[in-house]
């Protein structure tokens, strides 16, 4: 009940913000997100970037994004999505995978926060989200987090809170969603692979996101 009340309060504050306090600066990426490294740890980019349809783009409201596949030398493949918003306003706020993916036919089997350690990086220890999903007989593992204005945040309501504070103090509401998707058939193996991939992303991301 406590979490529900907090969520409602933050959603109300967010509504007030997007309707009445929407004067924020548009912040561009430091470098084009499309230039994100083709090599991330032991994973190498494969194929061309995927693109959204015009209808999906209109729904998401995202300003810059990549959606691509990476593969390690053993053929293990992971998908990476980075969606960056120059500012977040009504209709153009980051959509949580917790709500979007079940809407596309995936059932959530498990959802939790986990801790990732990233030595020799600006983010030595961060919390991100882990979801295990299933559609028919297929299982999928998803890691995701909110990345904005120098913070890595797992909780979507905490991310909204920081967005409101930064918009009032810094006149900035830019932010990104980073999502990793892959097989969920062998969770011990799959979690290890995604942790390694997330570590490589976090070591590189600050060169692209402000």
* Residue 4 binned pLDDT confidence (cut-offs 50, 70, 90): low
Of 19-23, 65-69, 95-99, least confident by mean pLDDT is: 19-23
Question: Among 11-20, 43-52, 84-93, 153-162, whose mean pLDDT is lowest?
Answer: 11-20
Reference 159, options 203, 78, 98; nearest CA is 98
pLDDT class for 20, splitting at 50, 70, 90?
very low
Total of domains in the chain: 1
> How does the average pLDDT of the chain come out, rounded?
88
pTM listed for this prediction? 0.86
Identify the pLDDT of residue 23.
76
DSSP result, 85-123: ESS-BTTBSPPPHHHHHHHTTPEEEEEEEEEEE-TTSS-
Residues spanned by the domain of 83: 2-207
Q: What is the pLDDT of residue 123?
A: 86
Query: Higher confidence at residue 101 or residue 139?
Result: 139
Instruction: Report strand pairing: 77-85 vs 138-148.
Output: unpaired
Helix (H, G, I), strand (E, B) or coil at 43: strand
């Amino acid at each position: 009940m406590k979490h529900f009340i907090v969520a409602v309060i933050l959603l109300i504050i967010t509504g007030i913000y997007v309707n009445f306090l929407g004067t924020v600066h548009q912040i561009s990426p430091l470098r084009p997100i499309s230039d994100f490294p083709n090599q991330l740890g032991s994973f190498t980019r494969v194929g061309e970037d995927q693109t959204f349809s015009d209808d999906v783009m209109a729904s998401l409201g995202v300003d810059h994004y990549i959606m691509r596949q990476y593969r390690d030398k053993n053929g293990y493949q992971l998908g990476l999505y980075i969606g960056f918003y120059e500012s977040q306003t009504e209709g153009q706020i980051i959509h949580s995978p917790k709500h979007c993916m079940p809407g596309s036919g995936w059932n959530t089997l498990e959802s939790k926060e986990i801790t990732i350690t990233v030595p020799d990086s600006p983010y030595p220890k961060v919390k991100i989200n882990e979801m295990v999903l299933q559609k028919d007989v297929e299982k999928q593992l998803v890691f995701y987090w909110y990345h904005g204005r120098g913070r890595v945040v797992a909780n979507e309501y905490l991310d909204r809170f920081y967005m409101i504070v930064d918009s009032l103090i810094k006149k900035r509401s830019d932010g990104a969603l980073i999502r990793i998707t892959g097989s969920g058939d062998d969770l011990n193996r799959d979690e290890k692979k995604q942790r390694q991939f997330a570590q490589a992303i976090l070591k590189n991301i600050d060169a692209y996101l402000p």
